Structures are given as structure tokens and as C-alpha cells.
Structure 1
Amino acid sequence: MVKICLHFHLLILILFLLSSCSMDTPEQIITATVPATPTQSQDGLSAEEVTTLTSLEKLDDHPFYVMHYAGNYEYPQIGSTWPEKMDFACSLFTTLGEGGDMFYGRNFDWSLSPALLLFTDPPDGYASVSMVDLEFLGIRPEDSKNFTDLPLVEKTGLLSAPSMPFDGMNEYGLTVGMAAVPGDYQEHAPYDPSKPTIGSIGIMRQILDHARNVDEAVAIFEQYNINFRGGPLIHYLIADPDGNTMLIEMYQGEMILLPNEEPWHVATNHFRCVAKGDGGCTRYHTLSERLTEVNGQLDAESALQLLSQVKQDMTQWSVVYDMTHGEIDVALGGDFTNVYTFKLNLEHP
């Protein structure tokens, strides 16, 4: 395995440490980074917007980018429109074994699209890191190969990236991800006219910015109607470093809360609130079988190996969040021989 470590967003140093190329003894490439230097406004953009866009770095020809968002951003009440996609099949799990570190693993299985790792630190919320599918910001794969070479004014679509986290972790180690489930949102999503409505992805931004633990995340969910229009019905797996995990599902007009009953939790692409056994999903079976064997105790490398066992041809990224220490491991396109590692400084309550 090649392991590439990037602490924050601007590349300044690459050190090559050579060893073997196996999953057990990885070849490691360590890259240190520092924050972008604040700059002046230009091209009709504010100084913070310029700082944000100039922080963009291309790390991989997938392509895979990293960016640090400077300053505040707006919260869309209604989520962005989902592009039409054909197939999807995501896999998520948490490892919460006693005496071990807490990890959250996730495969994002979708059609080919550029990926962005986004660091945010809003003045009225918590710092976080999240993965964003750039096609959902209108940036097509064929237009994104040399995105860093474009003028700033042609990259302004990236300024909406905070509104579209597909998974992420905040400074308290609270981590959230989602996976599609079958069904019509009009049949399953509850609606209360006294509550505001938020998009199915936008709710994840609220969680990352304002929840320190699973209980606070659930309380935020309870404040909103969730709008799934334009995209699939999804369920959410949320975890915190205290060993709590909650799977949140919208089913037949109710919000169903499914806490972990073991020192681990798993979600794929079927309703767990009505499923029997593994629900007929081989990925769910593989994940739950392995986590049962180890009683919810894995290290980061073993968590990546487990994700590799359930990857699909359409796996766009695989990510492991270390909820205890703040490290984030990312593999692109099902290629687990190259793993990028980042760091988010955690605050422990």
C-alpha cells in the first residue's frame, strides 16, 4: 500500500519512505501541509472566496482534490438537485470495540465523478472535513481533470461545496454518512407543516456543524422535514467517539431510530427497520460477519481492508474516519494501493 498523509490542504513537502508494497507492510509517502495564506479580493470575489479557491490542490488523476473553505457559508434550506444516476450501492460501518479506537468506514459507490475532500471551519459552527462529489455542483468529470489551471472566476461553483457533504467528521469526532434505500420519498418521509424543510444532503451539513454527539445529531434531525425530491430516498449512519451509533431511516411516514446493539453498526442499501438477517445483501453479510469476528475492533488498515472486500466496480471513494484521533484515510476508485491520509484536529468534550 502507498500511504500519502496530507495534514490540511496546501502541499509543501513530500518525503518518500520506502518499504514493501503489501497491505501488511505499506510503502509510505508522507506529505505535510500548511494553511493557505489569506489574500486580497479580486475578480469580483471576496478575500475569503479567493483564499478558498486558491487553496484547491489536485492530488490524484481520479481526479481527487482537497480544499480549505475560508470563512462562513450559507445553509440552503432545500437541498441541491441530484443529477440523474443509474446505479448506486454504498457500504457503511462503525467499529466501537471496547479498549480500541473508534472508526467509521464508508464506500461511496456511484457513477464516475470528481471527488473533493473539503475542510471547513465556520465561525458559528464546528470545524469538519467532508467528502463531496463535484458532479453534484455541476462539475462534470470531463471538465475537472485540470480544474486547478482555470481562472478563479471559473471555479466559483466550488464555493457551494459545503452544502453537499456525502460523508464527514467534525472536530468532536461526530461522523455521518448516508446510503440509498429503495422506495418513494412521498410514501416514506414524514412531514410536519410546523417544521422547516431541509435537503437530504443539507441535513448532514447541519449535523457536522452543530452536533457534538449522536444525541445532538438526532435532535437536529427532529427539527426538520427532510426533502428527498430529485434524488433517492436515503438513510443515515451517525457515530461518535463515545461508542454510540444511530441508523436513521424514514419509513412509512415515520423517522425510525436504530441504535447499535453490538460494538459495531452496518448499513448498506436496504431498510434495516424491517429487514430479516442481512436483508439478502452480500455486502452487509460480509461486513457484519467480519465485525462480529473481531467484536467491533479494527485498526485503520484493517478497516480499509474490509472496505476493499465490499468494493464495487463503481466505487468512487473509500474513506475511514478515525473518530478517536482525527485521521482520515481516502482511497480512490477502488485502488487500495494508494491511500491518502489527512488530519483534523479534534476537540474532546
Structure 2
Amino acid sequence: MKKTIKYVILVVIAILVVVVLGLFFLFHDELSTLNSVKEVNGYPMYEMTYKNDYGLDKLLKKGASNDQELVQFASKQLLKGLPLKIDIPKVACTTFSATTPNGQHLFGRNFDLEYSPSMVVKTAPKDGYKSISMVDLKFLGLDKQAMNHFSDKVISLAAPYIPFDGINEKGVSAAVLWVPDKVTNQQTGKPDITTSVAIRMILDKAKDTNQAIALLKKYDMHASADGCYHFQLNDAKGHSAVVEYENNKMSVIPQTGNHQVLTNFYETPGSKYHHGIGFDRYNVANDHLNQSHGIETEKQGLQLLNDVHDGPHMPYKDDDPTQWTVLYNNSKKTMTVVTGANFKKQYHYHVN
């Protein structure tokens, strides 16, 4: 009898070991990714080093014409079928390109929206470029306390598919900004992508601004959250451009002077030229860069972003408070981050 009990116990232990080992090998990359998550500050901002394959090529081949199709793909590819909700916001932001006195190229961005935690996501896909990007965790349904729970932390595995701005190892940076207009929904027969997938694609696939634009031209754009958005791009040679989708037609506005500024109105010449909001922020940034001839040190670039950030004491009443500020150095492939407009505390990252 004792031998039988001992045998049964050994069999149960052996089965448990096999199950545990099986789960470990099945979810090894996911667990490694989750183990890399750490809280950077109390705002909070987190950082994650992504270890597993998020299947961008598979998604680009399959296509996603709306947020629900992206959710279905991410749930299956990244979360092993766990339920997921992605809700991309209407973001009132400011971006600009400039050059340092020694010829390095800069790209600045304020992300203006109601409060939410953020995450710096580091990716290194086998078939793409390394990058670092900024993610708003609220749009994965995660609040200030959610990352304290493992079950909620698992949802952050979908983070690579909701970047709002970022830079890759080639020095290409990209950011998305909202335009108050009817939803973008191109129907030309090309493969489908959504707003956030476009940012992911640019970071993974583009070696310069021209290639980023060429990639966008290959796809039908479907704006997330029933909205309308435009993009600003920059690269290591200082080639900046704005990409818009007025009336579902893609247009490109290249930088023509020594800088380029974008907020939340159309810059494409035509019937909707200057339709939107954010003229006050645009004028402050553009006037400053005109006076400096587009020459800014990194410190001055951050100060300019401080000058146009939004908050209770700022004059920009059409916007939400600034959740993060980022200054990218496209030449050095670096990123300086500020959260909650606390410019006294800066966090520095390098694409390596």
C-alpha cells in the first residue's frame, strides 16, 4: 500500500514537472518580457524590453481595417486568446523638427491627453530594426494600479501595437497626432492597416523618411477610434515630413525650411487647409523656430516643448494636460522623456 501511494505521488510530481516545463517553454518569451517590466517613476511610467515575436509581418499580410481586427490578432498572437480591448484616443499634441548647432537632428513631441500611465517599450524584432517607443497604457485598459497585478500585466504584452511615437536604430522617428475630421477609411484595394500599426511598421521597417512614406503608400489607412490622424516623420539626415489623409487621400508635406511644426490642423493645401485646432501652440513653436533658424540645443528643444505643453496653468484650453514630453535625437538615436511636465526630472534612453 505504501509503495502504491509513493508511486502515485511520484507520478503526480512527474506530471506536474512536465506541465510546468511545458508551460515554461510555451510562455518563456512572454514571461521574460513580463519579468523585464519595471516602474521608472511614480507617475507612473514603466519600461519593458520585449522578448517575444509580436508577428508584425503576419499582421501586415493579414491586414487590419479597424481596431477590432487588431484586437483579435493581438489577442491570438500575443495573449494566447485572452480578451483585449484597444481604444486609441483623440490626442491633441505638438511635434517639431530642428537641428542642433553641431548638425544633429532633433524631433520633439508633447503627448497631450487626460491622465494615464505610460510605458517605454524596447523592441528588437528578428526581421526588423530595434526601436524604443512610447505607449499609453490606458488604451489597453490599464490604470495606475493595474501593473501591480500579474493578470493585468499580461495585457501589456499587446503594447508593441499601440505606440504613439518612437525612434528606431536607423534614426527614424514617427509620431501620430489627432485631426478633428471625419474618420479616415481608405478603400483602394490595398492591404489594410490602422493608425497604431502604421507607427509600428515605420519603426520596424523604415531606414529613412522616404522609405517610411513609401511603406505608408502600400496600405489603405483606417484610423483608430473612428477618428482622423496625421503623422510627422524625421530621420537621421533631418528629412522631416508630414503625412495626412484628407478626404481619404494620402498627401505628403515635406519640410521646406530649417524646421517643421505640427499640431492638430491640416497642412495639406486645399479645401480643408488649416481645418482643426492647436493654432496657439503651433504659432508659439513656429515663431520660436523661425527666430532661431531651426537651430536648437537639446536643452533648448526641451524648453520649447515646455513652452507649449498643456496643463492647468497653461493657456491652451482646447487640449488635455501633457502626459509625456519626448525629445528624440535622430542622429544619436536617443530619447529624453519627461512625464507630467516635470521637466526637472528627465529619463534618457538609447536604441542599442
The answer to whether TM tops 0.5 is: yes
**Equivalent residues of 1:98, 1:263 under 8 A apart:** no
Of residues 234, 237, 240, the one that matches 2:229 is 234
- Greater Cα shift, 277-286 or 102-111: 277-286
1:72 to partner: Cα distance: 1.7
Of residues 335, 339, 351, the one that matches 1:344 is 351
Question: 1:119 matched to which residue of 2?
Answer: 122
1:230 to partner: Cα distance: 2.2
Deviations 1:254-273 (A, max 9, x none): 11110000121110000011
Taking the aligned partners of 2:130 and 2:53, their CA distance within structure 1 comes to 11
Aligned residues: 297
Question: 2:309 matched to which residue of 1?
Answer: 311
1:104 to partner: Cα distance: 0.6
1:62 to partner: Cα distance: 1.1
Of residues 52, 55, 65, the one that matches 2:36 is 55
Question: 1:214 matched to which residue of 2?
Answer: 209
Question: 2:108 matched to which residue of 1?
Answer: 105
Question: Does structure 1 residue 128 correspond to structure 2 residue 124?
Answer: no
1:80 to partner: Cα distance: 3.6
1:241 to partner: Cα distance: 1.1
Question: 1:297 matched to which residue of 2?
Answer: 295
Question: Does structure 1 residue 334 correspond to structure 2 residue 329?
Answer: no
Find the residue that maps to 1:338 and give its secondary structure. Answer: coil
Deviations 1:111-164 (A, max 9, x none): 1111000000000110000000011112123x33xx2x433x442111111111
Of residues 93, 97, 109, the one that matches 2:96 is 93
1:99 to partner: Cα distance: 4.3
Instruction: Show structure 1 runs of 5+ residues with no match.
Output: 1-39
Instruction: Show structure 2 runs of 5+ residues with no match.
Output: 1-20, 69-85, 312-320
Of residues 154, 157, 165, the one that matches 1:156 is 154
1:88 to partner: Cα distance: 3.7
Find the residue that maps to 2:300 and give its secondary structure. Answer: helix
Classify 1:277/1:132 alpha carbon distance in 2 versus 1 (closer, same or farther; 3 Å): closer
Q: TM-score w.r.t. structure 2 length?
A: 0.79
Classify 1:98/1:55 alpha carbon distance in 2 versus 1 (closer, same or farther; 3 Å): same
1:278 to partner: Cα distance: 11
**Equivalent residues of 1:113, 1:134 under 8 A apart:** yes
Question: 1:165 matched to which residue of 2?
Answer: 163
Classify 1:184/1:99 alpha carbon distance in 2 versus 1 (closer, same or farther; 3 Å): same
**Equivalent residues of 2:67, 2:224 under 8 A apart:** no
Q: TM-score w.r.t. structure 1 length?
A: 0.79
Deviations 1:305-341 (A, max 9, x none): 0000001121100000111112211000111111111
Taking the aligned partners of 2:295 and 2:344, their CA distance within structure 1 comes to 23
Amino acid at match of 1:181: V
What pairs up with 1:16-95 in 2 under 5 angstroms?
46-75=27-56, 76=59, 77-78=63-64, 80=67, 83=87, 88-95=91-98
1:208 to partner: Cα distance: 0.4
Classify 1:319/1:292 alpha carbon distance in 2 versus 1 (closer, same or farther; 3 Å): same
Classify 1:88/1:230 alpha carbon distance in 2 versus 1 (closer, same or farther; 3 Å): closer
RMSD: 2.3
Question: Does structure 1 residue 255 correspond to structure 2 residue 250?
Answer: yes
Taking the aligned partners of 1:280 and 1:229, their CA distance within structure 2 comes to 21
Of residues 182, 187, 192, the one that matches 2:188 is 192
Q: Which has the larger radius of gyration?
A: 2
Taking the aligned partners of 2:288 and 2:46, their CA distance within structure 1 comes to 32
